[in-house]
Structure 1
Amino acid sequence: MSQTVQITSPRQVEVIDEPTPDLSAGQVRIRTTYSGISAGTELTAYRGSNPYLNRTWDPHLRMFVEDSGGFGYPVAGLGYSEVGQVVEVAPDIAGDPGVPPVGTHVWGIWGHRGEAVLPAEKLRGCTVPPGLDPIAATFARVGAVALNAVLAADIHLGETVAVFGQGVLGLLATRLVRLSGGTVVAVDAVPGRLQKALEYGADTVLDARDGTAGQQIRKLTDGRGADVAIEISGSYRALHEAIRSVAVSGRVVAAGFYQGDGAGLRLGDEFHHNRVELICSQIGGVPPAVAGRWDQSRLNQTFLRLASDHRIDPAGLVTHVIPVQEAPAAYHMLDRNPYDALQVVLTFP
């Protein structure tokens, strides 16, 4: 049996025992070591606001449609930040140089479950780099999300970049912007996160609570405004302030997972009068301008190489390492007291 985290209904989580699947041809069995909780996407399922709970994504129309074909509760094994050890390889692929052998630490996406059986093809290129702390490898996908947003921002050397939201994704974006040659203004409402932003490369930090971040950024740039802003918190009010902060014809990258109606977002104001370019960054694809050179695999590998080279410290964002049995309390903390934690990682026996 394998322990699996299951969201049974809004704000209700339990840890259940699931049968471990048999190993078939072409497959690999992994025993999970660490699994990071996403305080963005996963909490939308936890809170019941995720659009997939009420509608169905039609891949041909590229639209959500009103029917009952979407996923519903219980939602078992949600999660996309896993690291584990290969414990079994199907005989037909044993010895294949592209298949990680037994004992290898790998990263990937198989959800919050103690054991998983995956096609070996999904693990090609997913070996944890030598010398890298396995817990840092749980950030492979999360880091790719942040890097994708930075690529979409199209930063040039010496430009001022405002990063709205300094949770895990925002802090990673702040560091990646700095590595890209940008000057970072980090914005958040939590003093502790602003302090962390300074550690991760922000040149200036602004408290979002007084609602004047856009004006302050203009003062910092002699009235011009930021060259580009990345909004990665998923707050409509933050997105509106990001739009207010950029220069005429400036770019705003909307990288958060926005929920519900856009309360606080007023597109007739600065967006309209300053002809602001608003684009979306979403991990399902890379920015069109770089699609001939970049893909999701390169995003993952680049981020892990930066971590291996000690140019970025994802493990430094882990504030809680919690046994999987305590998963209900972990989700409750992230939902009710989000300022008490950055990255929460579950461990499995």
Structure 2
Amino acid sequence: MTMRTTGIEYPSQGQTAFCEIGTPPDPKETEILIRTLFSGITNGTERHALMAEHLWGQFPSRHGYQHVGIIEKAGSAVKNFSEGDKVFFGHYVGHRAWNVIDAASPLALASQTHLTIRLPEHPQIDDYGQYALLGVAGVAMRGTRRFRVGPTHNVWVAGAGLIGQFAAQACRAFGATVTVTDVNPGRLKKAEDLGAHCVLDARDASTDEQIRARSPYDVIIDCAGQGPFVRDLFEKHLVKHGFVVGLLAVRTDTVFHWSMLHIPEGSIEVSCHFSVNDLEALLGFMREGVILSEPLINTRASIDEALEVYATLRDEPSKLLGVVFDWR
């Protein structure tokens, strides 16, 4: 199959374009060459970058970190991967037709900096599209682990976008009782279908009362990025002693008073990354059918249609949940 030589770039605020990345070099002895089969949009991160929100604002730039591909070539020193392997690759390089990555140097082997993992075998190439969201799912998995979610915990996930959907599934996988809130009925239905124990429409007048009735919470995970959210948790007495507030959504200034954390001995934590170990844990849950990615994909498009999809991300982001580009 002929390898494409293009990528996606943001030339200016609100605009996307195809860019030429050239033909790939032959990999060095510790490197692998991955031809992209699928890539997934990282909705929140990419839209913030596209719209120059928060700390983003440099153009031209390239954003995204979710590739599924096939190893076309492997260097002579590479023993952990083989030509023909289907892999997920998670470096922040934007959407690209190919990637060359150091997979077998001492540093790459010791610290797994390659962020590449072999995927389970499937009979059809189309089946690998579900793994194009592993990056966002990996961020949710890492956050759930870092926020110390465990059996019998009472957890509230605020926001049912892509990161919130995966966070809710991960919390349930670890044995927690999960409440999910959002303003989008379709996303709430999706969270319920995927195992959330309670879903509440944040637009309803009774939701605050229901959130309070289900409190106190061991862990509250913010996947929406609303400004006063952290302060409100304490003023409404929604948290247990030793609670964790986990911030997965990107946000601007976050207001809290020291006294909020003093007596209840709580913590506020941020988690934005993932490791190969997080991906391994995630794949284990996916193999058992405990965490699902396929039902979250509501947009599949050829990479040739990417600019139209990004226009939707810019203008009507709530229409998109899981977005997978097909590079074949």
Into which bin does the TM-score normalised by the smaller protein fall? 0.7 to 0.9
Question: Equivalent residues in 2 for 1:48-67 (5 A)?
Answer: 48-51=52-55, 53=57
Aligned pair partner of 1:87 in 68, 72, 76: 72
1:313 aligns with 2:292: yes
Question: Equivalent residues in 2 for 1:88-167 (5 A)?
Answer: 88-90=73-75, 92-93=76-77, 96-101=78-83, 103-109=84-90, 110-121=93-104, 126-131=117-122, 133-167=127-161
- Contact 1:239/1:254, CA 8 A, preserved across alignment: no
1:230 aligns with 2:221: yes
Aligned pair partner of 1:188 in 164, 176, 182: 182
SS at match of 2:192: helix
Distance 1:157 1:112, change over 3 A: same
SS at match of 1:99: coil
* Cross-structure match for 1:20: 23
Aligned residue pairs, count: 309
- Contact 1:34/1:346, CA 8 A, preserved across alignment: yes
Question: Equivalent residues in 2 for 1:282-293 (5 A)?
Answer: 282-284=271-273
| TM-score normalized by the length of structure 1 | 0.80
Alpha-carbon distance in 1 for matches of 2:282, 2:217: 25
Distance 1:141 1:220, change over 3 A: same
The alpha carbon displacement at 1:118 in A equals 1.9
* Cross-structure match for 1:201: 195
Letter in 2 for 1:97: K
Distance 1:135 1:255, change over 3 A: same
The sequence identity of aligned pairs, in percent, is 25
Aligned pair partner of 2:6 in 3, 7, 13: 3
SS at match of 1:209: coil
- Contact 1:229/1:246, CA 8 A, preserved across alignment: no
Alpha-carbon distance in 2 for matches of 1:191, 1:269: 36
Aligned pair partner of 1:247 in 212, 235, 239: 239
The alpha carbon displacement at 1:199 in A equals 1.0
* Cross-structure match for 1:45: 49
- Contact 1:162/1:242, CA 8 A, preserved across alignment: no
* Cross-structure match for 2:283: 304
- Across the aligned residues of Structure 1 and Structure 2, the Cα RMSD in angstroms comes to 2.6
SS at match of 1:74: coil
Letter in 1 for 2:61: V
The alpha carbon displacement at 1:297 in A equals 1.9
SS at match of 1:35: strand
1:32 aligns with 2:36: yes
The alpha carbon displacement at 1:212 in A equals 6.1
Q: Per-residue CA shift, 1:259-300, capped at 9, x if unaligned?
A: x345xx5x3599479747242232347xxxxxxxxxx22111
- Contact 1:213/1:245, CA 8 A, preserved across alignment: no
Distance 1:240 1:328, change over 3 A: farther
* Cross-structure match for 2:268: 279
Alpha-carbon distance in 2 for matches of 1:279, 1:269: 11
Distance 1:334 1:52, change over 3 A: closer
Structure 2: 5+ residue stretches without partners: 105-112
Structure 1: 5+ residue stretches without partners: 54-71, 286-295
Alpha-carbon distance in 2 for matches of 1:245, 1:143: 30
The alpha carbon displacement at 1:111 in A equals 3.0
SS at match of 1:126: strand
Q: Per-residue CA shift, 1:169-201, capped at 9, x if unaligned?
A: 111111111121111111111111111111121
- Contact 2:159/2:224, CA 8 A, preserved across alignment: yes
Letter in 2 for 1:37: I
Tell which deviates more after alignment, 15-24 or 211-220: 211-220
Alpha-carbon distance in 2 for matches of 1:83, 1:325: 17
Alpha-carbon distance in 2 for matches of 1:211, 1:149: 30
Tell which deviates more after alignment, 116-125 or 5-14: 116-125
Alpha-carbon distance in 2 for matches of 1:89, 1:188: 45
Tell which deviates more after alignment, 165-174 or 111-120: 111-120
- Contact 1:247/1:274, CA 8 A, preserved across alignment: no
Distance 1:340 1:99, change over 3 A: same
Aligned pair partner of 1:338 in 304, 311, 317: 317
SS at match of 1:51: coil
